[in-house]
Amino acid sequence: MSAGDQDKLPLPVELPAVAPAAPGTAGPADMVDGMAFARLYGEPLFKLPQDLYIPPDALEIFLEAFEGPLDLLLYLIRKQNFNVLDIPMSQVTRQYLSYIEQIRKTNLELAAEYLLMAAMLIEIKSRMLLPVKKADSDEEAEDPRAELVRRLLEYEQMKLAAQRLDTVPQLGRDFLRSQVYIEQSLAPRFPDVETVDLQAAWADVLKRAKLNQHHKISREELSVREHMSQILRRLQHARFMEFSELFEDAVRSGKGVPVVVVNFIAMLELSRESLVEITQAEPFAPIYVRLAYSPS
């Protein structure tokens, strides 16, 4: 904000008076297209009351020139080219209090934020008027303005850093992210297999396995991972395989229900790991199994 803008104080803006409309004619605040121009206690107003009084200070436009007491103080010092390391406290304090007195007339809450700094300036000014006591050692007495100078310099550095940071290009303000539409050919998605159909197909395979079971006592270690590998090898040579075909070898070998069960678990595990897809064209149609990836 320029120095000229910061010298401006908030001024009340008076609303223009509205003359009553002549009888039989529509005034400027009459109903427009059946819509109310305002509401009073929840009730719509379609006409401006004839006895309406608008006080001069009903509307005020206030431009906050400074971001805080330090901002105002730094502005007063830099505007008059004072040395920040040797601040003339009398002049700066007088100008600072004058500004507070002006904004107090329009915004008491804002003026209260500046009172603490005003008290600090008055204290520093009073301490500088007192005679300096001679120290026992050769060290010079501390300047009452030292703490104020430190705060002003730190604030100025932060303000300059914020201004430099604001010059960095920002997304949405200085530039927009480019967007390119890429047309993708989506592979056709086959309908999902219902659980009921999968249960029916499994029950049929299990029934056939029981019919070919040999009454032979044996103990065989069955590996789910090994059967998973066997299924993957079979699917690499065929694009689609019917669900029941995956169990033909196990049923014909006569190894019994355990082998068929492990084979079924292996197929479910492959589906869970997204290595195979179980599809069905429509309800009650044959169930097919295929690889979910392209074999190398």
Structural domains present in the chain = 67-130+143-167 (no CATH), 195-291 (1.10.10.580)
Residue type, 13: V
Cβ of 125: how many Cβ atoms within 10 Å? 17
CA separation for the pair 136, 62 (Å, rounded): 54
Residue 252 has pLDDT above 80, yes or no: no
CA separation for the pair 76, 92 (Å, rounded): 7
pLDDT confidence tier of residue 250, bands split at 50, 70 and 90: confident
What pLDDT is recorded for position 164? 92
Residue 254 has pLDDT above 80, yes or no: no
Residue 23 has pLDDT above 60, yes or no: no
What pLDDT is recorded for position 214? 62
Question: Whole-structure pTM over 0.85, yes or no?
Answer: no
Residue 17 has pLDDT above 50, yes or no: no
Window from 12-21, 171-180, 225-234, 282-291 with minimum mean pLDDT: 12-21
> Per-residue pLDDT averaged across 134-146, rounded?
71
What are phi and psi for residue 121, nearest 5 degrees? -65, -40
CA separation for the pair 5, 65 (Å, rounded): 7
